[in-house]
Amino acid sequence: MVKRQLEARGITNPHVLSAFRKAAREAFVPKEFKAEAYEDHPLAIGYGQTISQPYIVAFMSQCLDLSKADRVLEVGTGSGYQTAILAELAGEIYSIEIVERLHVIAKLRLTELGYSNIHLKHADASDGWPEEAPFDKIIVTAAASHIPPALTAQLKEGGKIVIPIGDEESQDLVLGRKEKGTLVTKPLLGVRFVPMRGKEESGNPIK
Ligand code: SAH
């Protein structure tokens, strides 16, 4: 997986590559998909949600330029796989999941795997995590119609956010950097994520 799907497609950051060698993706997929754990596509994790394609997890991690001093906010814990990769690369990870059952399963799994720098919360992440803000980096793993203002507010000056923006048909992965209080953004590549829910996305009710 690391050689063929990541290195061959331009994931060059050695820390990102070594994080992928440490965190076993099979620990994060449902039993029936264990045999497909290292294949080049997303997988269903229940509740209409997915664990992202390995390349996309790597690409998002690489473009955040993470360091061990970083405090990171993740929106959409899902299976906890991206969370585990972030925990290998950054300092403290704060991850929010709106589906209670997914939050509970990810919490059990990440505790069992021994991660001590991961903090999980069951909530709508539309408001971010004000008690733990500001963050050096923010990663959103569900597609939003716009960048939630609370997330921009909770990003440090010079901090980076990566977020898929668009509707169910067409989305761009957008990288933003906070400069003099405002976000300077650029689209990076076309992606396909499950839609973000919650109060910022009135068209996507919580199931
Ligand atoms: N990073 C995850 C991807 C999960 S899919 C992984 O690799 O497994 C996106 C997740 O975002 C879903 O679990 C979904 O329930 C969650 N989500 C959607 N809207 C949300 C919101 N407003 N707040 C928190 N989580 C949300």
Residue reference for tokens 């440490």: 22
The span from the CA of 39 to the CA of 107, in Å, is 24
C-alpha dihedral, 180 to 95 to 142 to 89, nearest 10°: 70
Ligand 1 within 6 A of 142 CB?
Answer: yes
Query: Which pLDDT score is estimated for 204?
Result: 61
Kindly report whether the peptide bond that precedes residue 134 is cis, defined as omega within 30 degrees of 0. yes
Query: Which pLDDT score is estimated for 202?
Result: 75
Are 25 and 54 spatial neighbours (Cβ–Cβ below 8 Å)?
Answer: yes
Report pLDDT digits (tens) over 160-169.
Answer: 999 999 998 8
Q: Give me the DSSP letters along 185-198.
A: EEEEEEE--PBP-S
Judged by DSSP in three states, 94 sits in: strand
Ligand 1 centroid to Cα of residue 127, in Å, is 14
Query: Which pLDDT score is estimated for 168?
Result: 86
**Residue 140, C-beta contacts closer than 8 angstroms, at least 6 positions apart:** 74, 75, 76, 125, 151, 161, 162, 163, 164, 196
For residue 205, pLDDT over 60 is answered with no
Q: Give me the DSSP letters along 60-79.
A: HHHHTT--TT-EEEEE--TT
Region 112-132 average pLDDT: 97
Give the mutation target among 194, 202, 207 for probing the ligand 1 site: most ligand atoms within 8 A of CB. Answer: 194
Protein residue closest via CA to atom 16 of ligand 1: 76
More confident residue, 205 or 151: 151
Report pLDDT digits (tens) over 48-96.
Answer: 999 999 999 999 999 999 999 999 999 999 999 999 999 999 999 999 9
- pTM for this model (two decimals): 0.97
The span from the CA of 165 to the CA of 57, in Å, is 16
Q: Which of 18, 52, 79, 145 is catalytic?
A: 52
Protein residue closest via CA to atom 14 of ligand 1: 76
Per-residue pLDDT band at 207 (split at 50, 70, 90): very low
Report pLDDT digits (tens) over 181-200.
Answer: 999 999 999 999 999 999 99
The span from the CA of 179 to the CA of 156, in Å, is 9
Phi, psi for residue 28 in degrees, rounded to 5: -110, 0
For residue 111, pLDDT over 60 is answered with yes
Q: How many Cβ atoms from other residues are within 10 Å of residue 61's Cβ?
A: 26
